[in-house]
Amino acid sequence: MGKHYVGAMKEAGGIVVSLDNAGEPDFQVDITDEKAVKEVIEKIVAKHGRIDVLINNAAMNPAVGDKNSDKLFAPVDEYPLELWVKELQVNLTGMFICSKAVIPVMKKQGKGVIVNVASEVSEIAHDHRVYNTPGKYKSPAYVTTKTGVVGLTRALAAQLGQYNIRVNSFSPGGVENPKMPKDFVERFGSTNMFSRMAQPDEYNAAIVFLCSGASSFMTGHNLVIDGGKSAW
């Protein structure tokens, strides 16, 4: 989804710098390494002179059908502690580290925007029946961290409003992925009011809204877009 957000921000006229630990980002960095993140932020500021927006999107969230991620769907009593710790580090601690690194820059500028990507499970429990497989469950760490993202968002917003820095979270519903089995896509889609999963580009406008002046009086809020699932 990060690639789609990058494209949306560029289309809106933004100068985008992407960070990731894989693929082909502008900067390859482990967001759980505070020193490395700080060095990258310094390079970005040296090149562009400012940072107006931070979108925290990184997370461990394998698609159903990914054969390399079976352990991430294990029952809670069999869930490996090392995966729990890693998910907390990537999904939540990494978000804190990145935010901490850009906040001094935004304070100096006198304004800024931070958008933390959470999930529909920040508001509701995950319905494990969509897997239709006994013993298969959504990672407890994923649900925990995405709920924590909303708490972190409110904590940051409460401190940073005085500096004209807005902090909001975004909780999207499930997005269809080519790796997902067709029967899973149908079951997951049936849990919301549109009876389908979201398509990757359907959240682009929400990201642009949260990052732009269109949401200038909005902070500490969790924007949920889940096809009406949480309103049943």
d(CA 88, CA 148): 10
Active site residue 142: yes
Say if residues 59 and 72 touch (Cβ distance below 8 Å).
no
Tokens 């924007």: give the residue. 223
Catalytic residue chosen out of the listed positions 5, 79, 131, 142 = 142
Taking alpha carbons only, the member of 124, 137, 142 closest to residue 58 is 142
Catalytic residues: 142
